[in-house]
Structure formats: structure tokens, C-alpha cells
Chains A and B, each alone.
Chain A
Amino acid sequence: MRRHHRWNWNALAVVGLLAPILTLSAGGARGAIQDATPAASPVAVECPPDAAGAPEDGVVRVGVILPLSGTAATVGNDERAALELAVEFVNEDRAEVPLPLAAGAGLPTLDGAQVELVFADSQGQAEVGQSEATRLIEDENVVALFGAYNSAVTRTASTAAERAGIPFLNAESSSPDLTEQGYYWFFRTSPHDGTFSEGIYDFIESLNANQSAGLETVSLLYEDTDFGVNSAAALTEQAGTRGLTIAGEVRHATGASSLTAEVQALQQQAADVLIPSSYTTDAILTVQTARQLGYLPQMIVAQDAGYADPAFVEAVGADAEGIATRSAFSPDIFEVKPVAGQVNELYRAATGKDLYDVPARGLTGMLVLLDAINRACSTDPEAIHQALVDTNLGEADTIMPWTGVTFDDNQQNELGRGIIVQVQGGQYRTVFPPEFAVVEPVVPLAPWDQRP
């Protein structure tokens, strides 16, 4: 039995060692919106005579970090397809698409250089994102980094870019903190959760004003990484000025095996509105658990992420009906912006899915980055940085419901904004703000047992 003894302890030690590897931590965040694209007739760029010009092999390599496996893999792979589409616009002559760089093949100022995306899988984990960022910079010779969806991963990956001195463009992480840490190389095209939180409260106010919803108290449910924690902080900070009372907040582990205790805590708080900030897996589990325990607030208005993922609606079916979420994109935009519909057709041909929030923001962000590299006339980091700073895209240049893209002093896009969509008839329909709304919001939520 001596042998048994030793073996067992070895096994325990190994379990202990492997546990962190096995643990999924899909931290992350979700961003907002961005768009950039230009007019059918591209503005000619004047290059300075001393510009470094095209890379020797005629290929511009951009490193992209996304959660391609793990709990956020759906979103990560959907965004990957959108980024590949953006690069296709640039590399091939797609004059029929009225977006920047679509006409003509390659990057014009770099002798028609082709763009190549080098993808890396973060698994949604901050430490993996950081090591992949370093690998992309040191071994793959990328001229810029892009990504990384989960706010927690974006934070560590952008630190690697900051250290190496190359530009990092983020299009889909929403933690406000990211652009407030004073990084020189970090740019974000999507609005952050500070902006988004205002949108959520504007929506709740309009429900009270127009539909006498009587929503006064709020429960916050949020996941425990960068995204959730900072989203909750932004929501808490703004609640007071809106005359809303925070009844309580519940933090949950990301990728939980059960959320019973969490939903019970929410049930105790009995608030009028629930504002959750969670990724897809936890969003699904929250709604399923709420139904099982009979927890139903008058309204759920989510902070994007899992709740804006079509996979969420597919997984919970009728239980998603009536849930609203801030988002950056919805198919309704096709009616307002025909170019968005056109891009969607191409996206659907490639993936079989419709474009939604994160892929749309990703595509937009990638076009902003490539537009900047083109205007830089060079792959020199400093030149790209300056071109990003000088970015000035208008309303017609993007597929997003934004007025354009220009960066403020924190290198945060100032012209982005969010919309509120609500699941109606199994589809995300835009309900707010009024200029983009296509249907009236429905309030309150229908009882769980009275759904189609």
C-alpha cells in the first residue's frame, strides 16, 4: 500500500497543477461600435517624400488576438470572419462596396501591398492573450495588433504592445478603463461602458416617461473580470444622477456551473430592473435559472456581451423574449444604411449568419486601422500612430449607427454611440434611440409560463 500512497499524492499534486490550466476564465468584455469607411471615391493620400513606403515583401501583417476557443469562441470566430471580410475588401478590387479602401486592390500608398492577418487564440484568458501578443510582435513581425474582445485580455495584450512600441487597435472591448490608463499606442473605435451605461439609463427613463413603466430600482448582476466589474462601476456611478436606486449588486464567477445562489440573491433584492453584464454562457444560465426559480423583474436591460449574442437567443428560445440589451448594431440598420445591408449579404454568404454587434464593430475597427496604415504611407509604428491620431471618418464611412470616427485625447473614438435592441419575435429589434428605432419597446416582461 506504500506505493498507493505515493501515487495518490502525486495525482493530487498533478490535479492541483493542471487545475489552473483547466479552469476556464473567459474574461472579457465587449465593446461597442465602430465603423469606418469611406466614400466610393477614395480621397487621394499625399505621402511625404521621406515616407518609408512599402514593406520589402509587399505584405503588411497585422496580428489579431481573439477568443477562438473557450467560452467566448462563438463570438471570437464570428468576428474573425468579419475581419477576413474587411481584409478582402482591401486586398481585392471591390469598388461596388462604398467603404474606404474597397476600390482598387491592396493598400494604394504602399504600392498595392496586400494585408495579411495573423490570428492568435487567447482562449479568453488574460495571460494567454499577453503571451500571444508578445509572440505576434517578436516572431511574426506584425506592424500592429488588433483585438481582443474580452476586456481583461485586451488589457494584458495592449500592455505587451505598449512595451514593444507598436499600435494596438481595439474595436470590441468596453471596459472604460482601457482608454483611461494613458497608453500611447492604444486606440479604441468602440464606445465604452460609460457611454453605453448612459444609453441604458436614457432608455429606462424613456420607458418611464412614455410608457409609465414606473421603473425605480435596479439590480446589477455582473461577471468578475474587467468587463463586468467596470461596467457595474459605470452603472453605479451614474444611477444616482438619474434618480434610480441600486437595490443591490451580485457578482458572479465567469463560466459558472450554476447560478442558483446568484439568482436567489437577485430575487431577494426584488428590483424593478435587472441590468446584467455577463458573457454568453452565463447569460444563458442566468435566464434558465431565473425561469426555474420564478425570478422575473419588470424589465431586463443588459450591458451587451452575452445578451447581444444571437447564440443566446437561440439557446434560451422564448425565454429571451422581451429582454433588451444595449448593442452597437442591429440588422435594422440595413434600412437606414444600405451599405450595412450590402456588407451583411457578403458576411452571410461567408458564414451563414447575419452580421451582429461584435463582428460589425470588428470589421469597422479593422478598416479604421488599415485606412490609417494606408495614410501613414509606411509600416513605421510612429507613422501609423500619427495617422490613427489624424483619423477623421464621417457618418457615411462606416456601417455603424455612428456619426463617424475621430479620436479624443485618450485615443477613444468620440463619435460612436450605442443603441438599445429588444428581443421581439425571436429577433433583435432596435427600440432606442428614436432615430434608429423601428418598433416600440414592450414593457413589462411577460411571465415565464405565458410565452409562446
Chain B
Amino acid sequence: MDGDVLLQAIASGLLIGMVYALISVGLTLIFGLMEIVNFAHGEFLMLAMYAAFFGRSLVGLDPMLSLPATVGLLFLLGVLTYRGIISRILHAPMLAQIFATFGLGLFLRGLAQFFWSPDFRSVEAPFLAGLSGGGVEVGSVSLGVPQSAAALLAGLAFLALYLFIDRSRTGLALQAVAEDRATATLMGINSDRMFALGWGLGAACVGLAGAVLATFYYIYPSVGVVFALIAYITVALGGFGSVPGALVAGLLVGLVEVVSPTLFGFSPAYKYAVVFGFYLAVVLVRPQGLFGRF
């Protein structure tokens, strides 16, 4: 085993792992708050990627410049989804809740294909591509600038999320609602607004992920499906509802996926099998996931 190759694999695994973590954290946030799995999560990601694409192709904005707008738009989409759909099915049977978001996802995917065609798009990102020619060499390891920027932004987002949830009054109110909705309401917390905020935050996180992912991944209507499955496994591995869990699990999934074929010398074709096997091994020992509470 060549040490340089292993180092490269670890670096690549950590970079993509940060993106997986960022995609997953929105999902886990919403689940932790109200125990609803957002099956349209992948489609939120897809819409964010298209937002970056159209920002570039229609307005000429670099994806890094349109990023705040993309995050804002997705926040809005999250709030609207809550107000328009989720709040109406809060007390509906679980299956209704599942199929509401699942249906929303299929609907959004169909809409995207109808209006924007199934064609593959990619976004020019002149700012990131221009930084040291789009790649950095650290010793023997080559890192793509867009991938590194994505990982860095994901790290910052996690930090901000942690500070917000753990240190701000609103964040504490969110936690209170997640803990016990009825008691929180008695304490004067408007749980409805907290839910809306949770959906907004969750969607904003996946919006950020989509905006940075668009700089190095192609965009098409079903792109969300590729990442949604990884997001579900990440959330389950990290523990439903756990923000630090999403971070650790995202990094683990990225590492296992990229490093295990290199380390153990098997065909990369089995990398997803290894990821899922790893997940199974973890849930056998800790059914609630690494950081799950129950």
C-alpha cells in the first residue's frame, strides 16, 4: 500500500464527507424537531443546484456570489413547505406524513424535468476555478479548490448551527420544542413558529450544500436521488435528530466510501456495500445511531 495514495484517499474522503454531512444535517434537524422524515430532501438539494445554475446562466452571478440568495431561497422554500403542507398533516397518520413529503419530492422532480428538461447542466464557477488554477497540491495530495471550499463552508455552517442551537435563546427554544412540545408551549414558546424555523433552517443547510455542490457536480432533475440515499444512511448512522451525529457520520461515510477500496484492495464497485455494511455493524451495537438519544 502506497502511503501517498492512502493520504489522497483520506483527504478526498474527508472533503466529500463534509458535503454529505451538510446535506444530512438539514434532514436530521427537521426530524429531531418534529419526527418527520423529509423525503423531498434530495429535491431541495436539486433546486438549490438549479438556483446556482440559473444565477450563473441568467444573471451571470458566480455561484459563490449567488450563494446567500440560494440559501435564502431555500430557507423560504422550507418555511413554505411547512406552512403549506406539513402544518396541515402534523396530526395525520404517519403514512400520510411520509407520502406527503415523498409526493412533494416526486412532484418537484417532475416539475424540474418539465420546465428545465432532463439535460445535464454544469455551472461555471470562475471564482473557485481561478484560485490557484482550481487545484492545490499539499505534499503529494491534490485537492480540488471547489471541493475544499465546499468542505470549508460546510465546517463553518456546522459551527454557526452549533452556536445558534446551543447558545441563542431561539436555539434553546427550538431544543425545548424538540424535547417536549406541550411543555414548551406552556412556557410560552410558539411551537408552530419553531417548526417553521426548523424547516427553514433544514432547507437552508441543504441549500448551502446544493450551492457548493453545483460548483463540482453536474445538475439534472434526479440528482437529489443520488445524495438523498446517502443522507438517509448518514442520518441513521449519526442518530436521528443529532446535529453532531450528522457531522461525524457524514465524515465516516465519506471516509469509508473512498478509503476502504484503497486500504483493503477490493473493487470500488463494492464501496456502497461496505458503507451499508458498516452502518449495519454500528446499528447492531447502537440501534439509535452513534449520537442518538433514545
Contact = CB atoms under 8 A, between A and B. Distances in A.
Interface of A: 1, 4-5, 7-8, 10-12, 14-15, 18-19, 22-24, 68-71, 73-74, 76-77, 224, 250-253, 255-262, 264-265, 267-268, 280-281, 284-285, 288, 292-294, 311-312, 314-317, 449
A257 B59 CA distance: 28
The 4 closest A-B pairs by CB, nearest first: A73-B118, A251-B269, A292-B144, A261-B268
Interface string B250-270: 000010011111100001110
Contacts of A69: 109-110, 113, 118, 221-222
A268 B267 CA distance: 13
B158 interface: no
A312 B31 contact: no
Interface stretch (B7-15, B79-87, B185-193): B7-15
B177 to A, nearest CB: 14
B106 to A, nearest CB: 10
B257 A253 contact: no
A252 B119 CA distance: 23
Interface string B218-244: 101110011111101000100010000
A15 B232 contact: yes
A311 B25 CA distance: 32
A18 B118 contact: no
Contacts of A8: 35, 240, 288, 292, 294
A315 B37 CA distance: 33
Given A14-B37, A69-B113, A268-B5, A261 B261 contact: yes
Contacts of A224: 269
Contacts of B37: 11, 14-15
Nearest to B228: A22
A11 B41 CA distance: 15
Contacts of B110: 69
Contacts of A14: 37, 94, 98
A255 B229 CA distance: 12
Contacts of A253: 269, 271-272
Contacts of B94: 7, 10, 14
Contacts of B260: 261
Contact of A261 (B39, B102, B133, B262): B262
A260 B12 contact: yes
B45 to A, nearest CB: 11
A371 B79 CA distance: 57
B183 interface: no
A311 B120 contact: yes
B142 A293 contact: yes
B16 interface: yes
23 contacts: A1-B294, A8-B35, A11-B31, A12-B240, A15-B37, A18-B98, A19-B232, A22-B42, A22-B232, A69-B118, A69-B222, A73-B118, A73-B221, A77-B118, A255-B225, A258-B16, A260-B9, A260-B258, A261-B258, A281-B218, A292-B216, A315-B120, A449-B133
A10 B217 CA distance: 33
Contacts of B227: 257
A332 B261 CA distance: 42
Contact of B222 (A24, A77, A251): A24
A339 B236 CA distance: 57
Given A18-B102, A22-B225, A24-B225, A288 B267 contact: no
B122 interface: yes
A314 B219 CA distance: 12
